[in-house]
Amino acid sequence: MKMLISVWKKVPKQAAWILLILGAGLLLLLPGKSAEKRRTQTEENLGFSLEAEEKRIEEALSRIEGAGRVTVVLTLEASEEREYARNTDSDRQDPAVGGRSEERSEIARVGDGALTVKIAYPRYRGALIVTEGSGSALRLAITQAVAALTGLGTDRITVVTGR
């Protein structure tokens, strides 16, 4: 320890600061458990939940003036689809000599999970909105809001007054 201190004292101050900053920068670049946790949480958040989406839209619509309590029911055209990266391995032999070609494929893995290349979120088929408020202006505002949030055409959105 004394030797380390004596070496440190011999290093010029500018060089010491540069070494200290570089060392701190290297520590920041090292992935830790928290980075792995954040990546896992982000991957989990990518999943689609119809119930969560309905609740999110309900909360937004209930803030429209005059809407009151709102219930949202969404129907799906197709469910979520995931495309995974694949590792392929080919054995090719000359067919002229009677050989055959064979190809094997498996899903590429990263750690404990599969490597996702593409996620296609579900497409909506229609929406039913039940609101305590009434009036044509309110129905129009709700229809436009739901169309903006879901990508549905206004002909696929029904707004009714309920209790």
Q: Are 84 and 103 contacting, i.e. CB atoms less than 8 angstroms apart?
A: no
CATH architecture of 48-79+121-163: 2-Layer Sandwich (3.30)
The counts of H helices and E strands in the chain are 5, 9
State residue 17's pLDDT score: 63
Q: Domain spans of the chain? A: 13-45, 48-79+121-163, 81-120
Q: Establish how many alpha carbons lie within 13 A of residue 43's alpha carbon, considering only the half-sphere containing its beta carbon.
A: 16
State residue 46's pLDDT score: 54
Q: What are the pLDDT digits (tens) for 150-161?
A: 999 999 999 999
Residue type, 29: L
Alpha-carbon distance of 116 to 122, in angstroms, equals: 16
State residue 49's pLDDT score: 85
Measured CA to CA in angstroms, residue 96 lies from 89, 90, 102, 104 at distances of 21, 18, 15, 22
Whole-structure pTM value = 0.53
Q: What are the pLDDT digits (tens) for 87-108?
A: 666 666 666 666 666 666 666 6
Alpha-carbon distance of 145 to 86, in angstroms, equals: 40
Name which residue leads in pLDDT, 163 or 92.
163
State residue 129's pLDDT score: 96
Q: Is 7 helix (H, G, I), strand (E, B) or coil?
A: helix
